[in-house]
């Protein structure tokens, strides 16, 4: 799948980006779905009032990842102001609820007061015009709230951004207490970043199971002299399955993916109650899929690696079923659709 440009209206930067949750293609697909679903509504009018000329939900969908570095080009003044005011912004993108659980609970294991559920809730309150000092501790402006909510609605649909695989000291996944984590009887896997897939085996299986990308969509950069031997489970879910999902339906761009899936009239379960509570419902829905993502997935013996900065961290080899690319790409497609429909629905609920 061709790496698409991350378009930032303020900087007019067009640089390939594919390093975070759902990757650029996935986030833009979520935004593109919502763009189409709010056409002609008051929500579209209110969204356009907060966007700059030339921007759309699709084009701003990766903004919250782009602020993390220079992946999308030089940092704009708007980005610098946001990151300066929000030094923990990278932690707004996920929560670490044990994937075996069915519900996100405030103050539960793996949650924080600034995780993805709390931050999305805050963004919705700001856009509703109901935020005060207590409900808007990050002091988001309405435009910032829209930029962040557009991204987080995609992130919260990514199974590993909600469901965490904790590994017991004795091996195998478990639901730990905070004390067990503190006592090193169980270990977090950093959203699956420390779970390592055999890249050669995965590539061989996917070649047999997933349609090939069109010739002109294949990377044009030279293959590294030493290809990686492992792939992080989180990275697989961020970008690899999106690539597979696009290829399986013949979509070559996020906009085309959006058009194709909307044409199929998917059934997406509606949310209920005050929109400010919807992030809890989204997280619970994603936990259902996180269980599927971890089905028949087995961690091996723990080892340790050292980062370039000298930090020592735990890693585990991860065994997955041979047909995993098929089931996971189907789940990813459904989650991208859900993210786009949820984004459109919450915007319409905020601005009926």
Quote the pLDDT of residue 103.
Answer: 99
Structure confidence by residue, pLDDT tens digits, 3-18: 333 333 333 332 333 3
Find the helix or strand (DSSP H, E) in which 118 lies: helix 116-128
Q: What is the pLDDT of residue 15?
A: 32
- The owner of tokens 């949310």 is 271
* pLDDT for position 217: 63
- Tell me the percentage of the chain whose pLDDT exceeds 90: 86
pLDDT, average across residues 220-236: 74
Question: Per-domain residue ranges for the chain?
Answer: 5-350
Q: Express each pLDDT in 108-134 by its tens digit.
A: 999 999 999 999 999 999 999 998 988
pLDDT digits (tens, 9 = 90+) for 302-339: 999 999 999 999 999 999 999 999 999 999 999 999 99
Q: Are 33 and 340 in contact (CB under 8 A)?
A: yes
pLDDT of residue 223: 47
What does the CA dihedral 109, 286, 231, 25 come to, rounded to 10 degrees? -130
Name the nearest CA neighbour of 13 among 99, 76, 96, 64: 76
Look up residue 181 and give its two tokens: 């984590």
* CA distance linking residue 71 with residue 75, whole number of Å: 9
Selected residue with higher pLDDT from 224 and 102: 102
The answer to whether the beta carbons of residues 195 and 205 sit under 8 Å apart is no
Which of 132-141, 219-228, 245-254, 320-329 has the weakest average pLDDT? 219-228
230 pLDDT more than 60: yes
Q: Residue 251: pLDDT above 50?
A: yes
What is the model's pTM? 0.91
Contact 340, 37 (CB under 8 A): yes
Residue-wise pLDDT for 169-188, tens only, equals 999 999 999 999 999 999 99
Mean of pLDDT values over 144-173: 99
**pLDDT value at residue 21:** 64
Question: Quick check: 226 pLDDT over 80?
Answer: no
Q: Average pLDDT, stretch 202-222?
A: 79
Strand duo 303-306 + 312-319: pairing: antiparallel
Q: Which CATH number fits domain 5-350: 3.30.420.40, 1.10.575.10, 1.20.1440.230, 1.10.10.10?
A: 1.10.575.10
Q: What average pLDDT does this structure show over 125-151? A: 95
């Amino acid at each position: 799948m061709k790496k698409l440009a991350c378009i930032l209206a303020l900087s007019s930067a067009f640089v390939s980006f594919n390093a975070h949750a759902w990757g650029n293609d996935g986030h833009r697909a979520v935004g593109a779905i919502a763009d189409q679903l709010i056409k002609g509504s008051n929500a579209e009018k209110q969204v356009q009032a907060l966007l700059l000329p030339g921007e759309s939900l699709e084009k701003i969908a990766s903004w919250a990842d782009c602020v993390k570095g220079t992946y999308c080009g030089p940092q704009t003044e708007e980005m610098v102001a946001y990151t300066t005011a929000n030094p923990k912004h990278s932690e707004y993108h996920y929560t670490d609820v044990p994937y075996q659980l069915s519900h996100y609970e405030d103050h539960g294991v793996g949650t924080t007061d600034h995780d993805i559920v709390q931050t999305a809730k805050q963004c919705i309150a700001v856009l509703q015009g109901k935020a005060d000092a207590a409900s808007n501790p990050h002091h988001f402006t309405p435009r910032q709230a829209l930029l962040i909510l557009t991204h987080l609605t995609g992130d919260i649909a990514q199974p590993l951004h909600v469901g965490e695989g904790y590994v017991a000291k004795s091996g195998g996944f478990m639901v730990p207490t905070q004390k067990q984590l503190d006592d090193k009887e169980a270990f977090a896997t950093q959203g699956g970043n420390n779970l390592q897939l055999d890249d050669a085996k995965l590539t061989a299986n996917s070649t047999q199971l997933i349609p090939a990308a069109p010739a002109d969509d294949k990377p044009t950069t030279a293959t590294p002299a030493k290809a990686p031997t492992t792939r992080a489970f989180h990275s697989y879910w961020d970008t690899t399955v999106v690539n597979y999902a696009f290829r399986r339906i013949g979509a070559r761009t996020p906009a085309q993916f959006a058009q194709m899936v909307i044409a199929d009239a998917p059934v997406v379960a509606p949310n209920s109650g005050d929109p400010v509570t919807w992030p809890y419902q989204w997280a619970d829905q994603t936990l259902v899929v996180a269980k599927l993502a971890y089905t028949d997935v087995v961690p091996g013996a723990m080892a340790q690696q050292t980062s370039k900065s000298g930090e020592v961290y735990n890693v585990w080899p991860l065994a997955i079923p041979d047909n995993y690319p098929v089931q996971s790409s189907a789940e990813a497609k459904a989650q991208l659709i859900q993210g786009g429909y949820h984004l459109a629905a919450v915007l319409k609920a905020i601005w009926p």
